[in-house]
Amino acid sequence: MIKLFSLKQQKKDEESAGGTRAGAGGKKASAAQLRIQKDINELNLPKTCEMVFPDQDDLLSFKLIISPDEGFYKGGKFVFSFKEPNPEDPLNKEAAEVLQTNRRLFEQNVQRSLRGGYVGATYFERCLK
């Protein structure tokens, strides 16, 4: 089960502690953070799935743990890590270079790869419904 405070509750707690997030020297939440917070709070995972946030302040980096309770993989545990792209420590150096030099092209390449097709010489199967 996901144990995260709603933004409304968090704001109320901060105000009762003597200030607002921005006024107390903290950073203001970005649009991406607000959206991911909303999406996570509305998420209904099956009992075989668990999301873990190593850093509660970084909701864009998390682990998804799947523990099948039936079938061939019953009793197994599969862990997938999700992070924002980090051009400083890339798995794909070519993609990291594009991310650093032309973010718009990088976004187009991501969309092209998800829709199915070629990005450079690499073919990607369609992932989107």
DSSP assignments along 56-89, one per residue: TT-TTSEEEEE---SSTTTT--EEEEE----TTS
User: pLDDT exceeding 70 applies to what percent of the chain?
Assistant: 74
Domains of the chain: which residue ranges?
90-119
Q: Where are the alpha helices (DSSP H) in the chain?
A: 7-16, 31-42, 93-101, 103-115
Cα–Cα distance measured from residue 96 to residue 89, given in angstroms and rounded to the nearest whole number: 8
- Residue reference for tokens 């107390």: 24
**Residues 42-76: tens digit of each pLDDT:** 999 999 999 999 888 888 888 999 999 988 888 88
Global model pTM greater than 0.85:
no
Cα–Cα distance measured from residue 77 to residue 3, given in angstroms and rounded to the nearest whole number: 21
Question: How big is the CA angle at 21 (ends 19 and 26), to the nearest 5 degrees?
Answer: 120
DSSP structure class, residue 46? -
Going by pLDDT thresholds of 50, 70 and 90, the confidence category of residue 104 is very high
- Tell me, what's the pLDDT at 52? 92
Going by pLDDT thresholds of 50, 70 and 90, the confidence category of residue 6 is low
- Tell me, what's the pLDDT at 20? 45
Angle between helices 31-42 and 7-16 (to 10 degrees): 120
